[in-house]
Amino acid sequence: MPIRTLLLFGGRSAEHEVSILSARSVARAAPKERIEIVPMCIARDGRFVTPERSAKILDDNDKSDAGNSDFSMESWVRTAGIDCVFPLIHGTGGEDGTLQGYLELLGLPYTGSGVTASAIGMDKGHMKHAFAAAKLPLVEFVQVHEHDWHNERERILRAVNNALRLPYFVKPANGGSSVGVTKVKNDQDLGAAIEKAFRFDEKALVERGIDAREIEVAVLGNDDPQASLPGEIIAGREFYDYEDKYVDDKTQLVIPAALPKEKVEEFRRLAVAAFKAIGASGFARVDFFLERGKNRLYLNEINTIPGFTNISMYPKLWEATELKYSRLIERIIELGIERFRARVTRQDGAMKWFDEVKRIV
């Protein structure tokens, strides 16, 4: 019997359309004899869309602005016979732990990272603290809270000037696809950049800007994760921002990246270390900087639900590492079920222990 897989896509973030593209690609490429795809969209208004309408959205024959007000996901899933959920909702509400927590409450197996790792992977401040605890190489940064900014602006500006040197990159702590990111070339523009970041989150990060190549590595697995060959992003704009990713379409992907063998192995090793540092599972993409001139490597961030079309970086990295797209989809679903079964076994063991204690008492 094929694995009956609920493919979740859409969501309320800025990456709604990207999520639809990812889901459309997965639905087409999943091996039909082994994976049965049941599509379900979360509309822009946050409501679920019926599987029938969701299939039309994937076929570009319906809109995803509003969900079905009379449809209950909780009621539907009780009799739907779902074996696994494949969330492909990027950004806020999809990869920040909230959706994962909802699926946990429903008792459903799902692909990718759990609640904690998803939340850490989405919050760049917590993410960097986890990387620092694992002694991974990071670019210097200063974290700014909105409340502190409004009350101690001069102190924060001094702290940034003392800790970092221009240029700076300012970004929201929570947000995907470089939304709200500004490159600051002089101190007079720093305040406006921080204010812009606060439009998207209550925390902002100010990082030292470096002249660097952008290298990405795909990671796959649970307890024994493996890393792909590295690939390189060559931005069409000054830096790889939202417009460069989704509007201008001038970005180049170089896979595999032109790197010496020892550097390739360093990227792969550190990608797995980053994956483990936040407790990730299933799949994730890890992004790096390789400083020009000094050839020094810095870890940038981890994405626990990366873009997943057949031309996205994550699948293409695995294709270059000799794992085809259709098999990659199947493997991610298998890993989700494997993780769920391990958790159920552990929970059953814990409940058995409590029952034994009760008998003793």
Task: Please say if 246 is a catalytic residue.
Answer: yes
Separation of alpha carbons 281 and 278, rounded Å: 9
Task: Please say if 177 is a catalytic residue.
Answer: yes
Task: Please say if 285 is a catalytic residue.
Answer: yes
Q: Which of 287, 298, 310, 314 is catalytic?
A: 287
H and E: helices and strands count for the chain: 13, 13
Task: Please say if 178 is a catalytic residue.
Answer: no
Handedness of CA 242, 154, 202, 300 (dihedral sign): positive
Q: Which of 125, 209, 221, 307 is catalytic?
A: 307
Task: Please say if 287 is a catalytic residue.
Answer: yes
Q: Assess contact for 216 and 288: CB atoms under 8 A.
A: yes
Helices within the chain (DSSP H only): 16-29, 51-58, 73-78, 98-106, 115-122, 124-133, 146-151, 153-163, 190-197, 242-243, 261-277, 313-320, 325-360
Query: 3-class DSSP state for residue 329?
Result: helix
Residue 247 is classified by DSSP as I
Residue in this structure with the two tokens 């795909």, named with its chain if needed: 218
Separation of alpha carbons 110 and 339, rounded Å: 9
Is residue 156 left, alpha or beta, with left meaning phi > 0 and alpha meaning psi from -120 to 50? alpha
Q: Which of 15, 214, 244, 319 is catalytic?
A: 15
Task: Please say if 59 is a catalytic residue.
Answer: no
Strands 35-42 and 3-10: parallel
Q: Which of 301, 327, 334, 338 is catalytic?
A: 301
Q: Which of 228, 303, 310, 326 is catalytic?
A: 303
Q: Which of 13, 113, 174, 177 is catalytic?
A: 177
Task: Please say if 202 is a catalytic residue.
Answer: no
Q: Which of 246, 279, 331, 334 is catalytic?
A: 246
Q: Which of 24, 213, 268, 285 is catalytic?
A: 285
Separation of alpha carbons 28 and 356, rounded Å: 49
- Which active-site residues does the annotation give? 15, 177, 246, 285, 287, 301, 303, 307
